[in-house]
Amino acid sequence: MKHNKIWKPLALGTCVIAAVSCGSNDDDDSSKPRQQEQPQQEEQRDQGIYKITFKTLNPAVVGNTSTGIGTITVTDQSFKFKLGMAGTPTQMTHLQHIHAAAECPTAAQDVNGDGFIDVLEGIPSYGAILIPLDGNLNSQAEGGMYGPRSNDLGLYSYTREAGLPLMLTDLQAEDTNPDDPIVKLPEGELLNLEGRTVIIHGVPKSANLPGTIGTLEGLAPEDTLPIACGTITRVQEDVTLPGTTDNRTNPAVE
Ligand SMILES: [Ca+2]
Ligand SMILES: [Ca+2]
Ligand SMILES: [Ca+2]
């Protein structure tokens, strides 16, 4: 398996895409103590349960029939993201992000006419990266070395939980790198999940992509080619879970 050869540049690139502190090996450190103060919460307009339904992007790539279901549960203290994907290119890492805008791209976004919607062509539809779905949802930068890996059947699952106040503090902070593809929330804006999309990326080197595929700095075209787009819809207005994410009382979640 060429995993090691692929992983190194991918991991390096992930530092770029997620603007992470690459000096840290701690790629899944949600247990770390946190020092940040909790921001003053406005009305809990983000609270609720959201469902994400995916459709395949770039089905011309052999082996990509990606579909999936995701659930986001937001309480006043927590943000929990669960995802199950199928039909993805097998045995490889898939970068995945919540993007800032609401539209999934269509064939019309293939502006260079090469038959593929590359990551740059999709940005006018789904926007910049808002929340990398990486090893640590408490901050955009931390945990960026991690991406879930599909198995030999093209299946993978991903579950991460963040503290909502921590997450909002990070997302509402100043954008210290305006040139990268990751954005912060405008001042005072909450998550507004229903106006966002989830994009899954990644096809194998054997996909034989044409040289016209656009990509992000530091990442191979195969790493960033979108394979699925999910739209987020709110299915429940509120979550009445006192300080816990135990889902037993929420039949909408599994
Ligand atoms: Ca194209
Ligand atoms: Ca992160
Ligand atoms: Ca930025």
Confidence at residue 67, expressed as pLDDT on a 0 to 100 scale: 97
- The answer to whether 130 and 98 are in contact (CB under 8 A) is yes
Average pLDDT over residues 149-176: 97
Q: For residue 139, give both structure tokens.
A: 């901050």
Rounded Cα distance between 124 and 127, Å, is: 6
For the ranges 3-7, 182-186, 199-203, 245-249, which has the lowest average pLDDT? 3-7
Other Cβ atoms within 10 Å of 119 Cβ, number: 22
Is the pLDDT assigned to residue 240 strictly greater than 80? no
Alpha carbon of 19 to ligand 2 centroid (Å):
9
Number of continuous H segments (helices) and E segments (strands) in the chain: 4, 8
Q: For residue 245, give both structure tokens.
A: 């994410």
Confidence at residue 241, expressed as pLDDT on a 0 to 100 scale: 59
- The answer to whether 134 and 144 are in contact (CB under 8 A) is yes
Confidence at residue 75, expressed as pLDDT on a 0 to 100 scale: 95
Confidence at residue 147, expressed as pLDDT on a 0 to 100 scale: 94
Q: What is the pTM of this model?
A: 0.79
Which ligand is located closest to the Cα atom of residue 141? 2
Alpha carbon of 97 to ligand 2 centroid (Å):
10
Architecture of domain 45-236: Sandwich (2.60)
Rounded Cα distance between 198 and 211, Å, is: 26
Alpha carbon of 7 to ligand 2 centroid (Å):
18
Confidence at residue 160, expressed as pLDDT on a 0 to 100 scale: 98
Average pLDDT over residues 146-166: 97
Check residues 67 and 11 and name the one with the higher pLDDT: 67
Rounded Cα distance between 227 and 144, Å, is: 20
Q: For residue 217, give both structure tokens.
A: 């700095």
Rounded Cα distance between 233 and 194, Å, is: 5
Q: What is the pLDDT of residues 111-144, one digit of tens each?
A: 999 999 999 999 999 999 999 999 999 999 999 8
Q: For residue 215, give both structure tokens.
A: 């990509």
Confidence at residue 18, expressed as pLDDT on a 0 to 100 scale: 42
| 3-class SS of residue 17 | helix
Alpha carbon of 218 to ligand 1 centroid (Å):
19
Average pLDDT over residues 199-221: 96
Is the pLDDT assigned to residue 184 strictly greater than 80? yes
Residue with tokens 């990486």: 134
Is the pLDDT assigned to residue 251 strictly greater than 70? no
Mean pLDDT taken over the chain: 84
